Structure 1
Amino acid sequence: MNNKIWYLPGPFHQYLEDVKALAKERGLRIIDANVTESREGEAHDVPEVTLRQTDSAPVLPSAGQGSGELHEVVGKLNAERDGLLRLIDAAEGQSELEHPGAGELTIRLFHALKSIHEGFETLTGERDNLAEEVASLRTEVERLKAAAEPVDNAEKIASLKAQLDAANVPYRANASVESLEKAVSELPKA
């Protein structure tokens, strides 16, 4: 049998060396020793590898030892969860946004949501102010349009009457704009 299998406990990133490159150099195939009990075809001349130094994760005390600490940790986690649920309800509009009181994550989330809420209130206020200003400007434009039309007609009438007076053409004093325009258009071209 060909002994070309390197049984190495995984995960392979836990080693300082590039174990895949080492295996390729020596013509070995790596199999995770944690997932198989068989050592069939195991190579005897395998490279030496070194485990990386890792920070160990904090270990919670078991129920038998320091269970008071465990209950305290579980209590804090439950309080944090409850605070998060209340903040989610507030974000969904099901309740008022209130300070959670405890828990680093819930307090950070509260401040973020409060900032967003205040931003929306500011934008809503600005939108309402702009809507009022738009309505006011539209009213002003309509008022100016209505006021401008008679002035335009008066100027036009005065201009038409001046042309007719210059040509010594008689017209009624209360003649309409249309009749004055017709009379001007019938003037002989000089």
Structure 2
Amino acid sequence: MIMSNKIWYLPGPFHQYREDVKALAKEHGLRIVDANVTEDREGEAVDVPEVTLRQAAPAPVLLIDGQDGVDGAALQELIDKLNAERDGIVLLIEAAEGLAPLVHPGAGELPIRLFDALTAIHEGVTALKAKRDELVGEVESLGSEVARLKALAEPVDNAEKIAGLKAQLDAAGVQYRANASLDALEKAVAELPKS
């Protein structure tokens, strides 16, 4: 369930900002969602922190002209594929950090493998939580059963104790009521002359 006006839609990757956007989000009570991965702006916060992009050195431009036996189109295709894989991995890392929802990357061998691993971890954690909840229920049930059995055992213990006290009083020839309480019998035994 989405809390109203608590989502900060910020274009990723988040490491491109000078500020620690995770710390800023936490400080302002916001949840960050990568604005690049969703068109939806439901629950968008109005008052969000100001951030600035890092001044990155311009990336070197590789000109592929197909000379010297190099297939320029194939090389450019490989570079595009690697860039797409990198972008998919960055999105999955952000999902693991809780900054974006975990969604299937769609393409790229490494991002898909990482997605499968993260999904398996999530399923394992979910199974462990379910087992923990099941065991908590069993512990509560067993605790109730122990309490019930203790309550049943007390009258038996008292009956044995009463019988022993009555035997002591009979041996001493002391009269007592047939339905005397445990306390009354204990008091009568305590008053017996010590021999």
TM-score bin, normalised by smaller chain: 0.5 to 0.7
Aligned equivalent of 2:39: none
Distance 1:114 1:70 in 2: 33
Q: Tell me how far 1:143 sits from its aligned partner.
A: 1.1
Tell me the C-alpha RMSD between the 2 structures: 2.5
Amino acid paired to 1:63? I
SS of 2:106 mapped into structure 1: coil
**C-alpha contact 1:83 1:106 (8 A) present in aligned 2:** yes
**C-alpha contact 1:90 1:97 (8 A) present in aligned 2:** yes
Distance 1:139 1:106 in 2: 49
Which of 87, 100, 119 is matched with 1:114 structurally? 119
Aligned equivalent of 1:97: 102
* Per-residue CA distance 1:120-162 (angstroms, 9 max, x = gap): 1221122111111111111111111222222211221122112
Distance 1:93 1:161 in 2: 72
TM-score scaled by length of structure 2: 0.57
**C-alpha contact 2:85 2:107 (8 A) present in aligned 1:** yes
Which of 161, 166, 177 is matched with 1:172 structurally? 177
**C-alpha contact 1:164 1:184 (8 A) present in aligned 2:** yes
Query: Are 1:62 and 2:67 an aligned pair?
Result: no
TM-score scaled by length of structure 1: 0.59
Query: Are 1:126 and 2:131 an aligned pair?
Result: yes
Q: Tell me how far 1:170 sits from its aligned partner.
A: 0.8
Structure whose alpha-carbon radius of gyration is higher: 1
Aligned equivalent of 2:150: 145
Aligned equivalent of 1:163: 168
Amino acid paired to 1:62? L
Q: Tell me how far 1:173 sits from its aligned partner.
A: 2.8
Distance 1:93 1:170 in 2: 79
- How many residue pairs end up in the alignment? 131
Aligned equivalent of 1:51: none
**C-alpha contact 1:62 1:70 (8 A) present in aligned 2:** no
Structure 1 stretches lacking a partner, 5+ long? 1-60
**C-alpha contact 2:64 2:76 (8 A) present in aligned 1:** no
Amino acid paired to 1:156? K
Amino acid paired to 2:192? L
* Per-residue CA distance 1:4-46 (angstroms, 9 max, x = gap): xxxxxxxxxxxxxxxxxxxxxxxxxxxxxxxxxxxxxxxxxxx
Aligned equivalent of 1:19: none
